[in-house]
């Protein structure tokens, strides 16, 4: 499935992947590793390009300042996922389809349910990029320029954001709770919306853009970023020669 941003050209700047664990809070165990996703060779999913990592640290500092100036308990960024090789992207797309089929009661092996299966695949494709091997259309996470994250409290517990990361459904849309929040400013939807806005604010301040369908997905320097900010080209692609993971 082509994305609007796939028309953006890529001129990779050559930055290496750098680890995140000693700089920000990474949510362990890593969710996809726990599922058996094939990272291989001890590859670390908690890493990003150097420039992206620096901006993530700036976002963390900004978040800390915003939540301590008014006397509130300081919040932190909780990293759910970062760099993702194509093998893992393919594994997780298939996993998401299987899970959604099970949730909707679709038998993927029943020829009479092919239309329903195609509908499930279409729903999944709104949130999961295809594992394209073409260097001109890399999945965002395969570039080392995209990160999935949420807000966590001082104890390391994730805040309720009104929808789980990777959920296949309207609750994943960034503005899903906005109308309910307007109708009831003191309700739970208003709390969820304010938390999503806070996350967006600190990430945007650091230069990131948010995925149009996912409240948790942010990137800098990839095709989605370039398309959103109307840059001439992306600075991060899927350059295999850079991803030796010599961290």
Q: Measuring CA to CA, how many Å separate 31 from each of 37, 45, 148, 186?
A: 9, 10, 11, 33
C-alpha–C-alpha distance, residues 63 and 202, integer Å: 6
Strands (E), the chain: 9-10, 17-19, 25-26, 47-49, 76-81, 146-152, 209-210, 217-219, 233-234
Q: Measuring CA to CA, how many Å separate 3 from each of 7, 22, 62, 104, 112?
A: 8, 34, 31, 26, 30
C-alpha–C-alpha distance, residues 156 and 10, integer Å: 37
Catalytic pick among 15, 73, 179, 214? 214
Query: Known catalytic residue: 214?
Result: yes
C-alpha–C-alpha distance, residues 224 and 10, integer Å: 11
Query: Which residues have a catalytic role annotated?
Result: 214
């Amino acid at each position: 499935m082509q994305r609007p941003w796939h028309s953006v050209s890529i001129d990779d700047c050559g930055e290496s992947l750098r680890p995140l664990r000693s700089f920000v809070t990474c949510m362990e165990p890593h969710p996809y590793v726990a599922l058996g996703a094939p990272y291989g060779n001890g590859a670390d999913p908690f890493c990003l390009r150097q420039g992206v990592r620096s901006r993530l640290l700036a976002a963390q500092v900004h978040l800390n300042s915003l939540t301590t100036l008014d006397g509130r308990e300081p919040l932190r960024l909780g990293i759910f996922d970062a760099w993702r090789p194509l093998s893992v992207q393919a594994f997780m797309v298939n996993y998401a389809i299987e899970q959604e089929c099970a949730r909707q009661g679709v038998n993927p092996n029943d020829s009479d349910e092919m239309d329903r299966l195609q509908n499930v695949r279409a729903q999944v494709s709104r949130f999961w990029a295809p594992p394209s091997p073409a260097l001109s259309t890399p999945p965002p996470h395969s570039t080392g320029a995209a990160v999935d994250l949420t807000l966590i409290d001082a104890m390391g517990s994730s805040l309720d954001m009104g929808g789980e990361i990777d959920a296949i459904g309207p609750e994943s849309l960034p503005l899903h709770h906005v109308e309910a929040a307007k109708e009831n400013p003191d309700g739970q939807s208003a709390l969820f919306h304010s938390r999503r806005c806070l996350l967006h604010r600190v990430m945007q301040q650091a230069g990131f853009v948010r995925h149009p369908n996912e409240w948790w997905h942010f990137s800098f320097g990839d095709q989605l970023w370039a398309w959103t900010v109307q840059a001439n080209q992306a600075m991060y692609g899927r350059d295999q020669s850079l991803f030796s993971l010599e961290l």
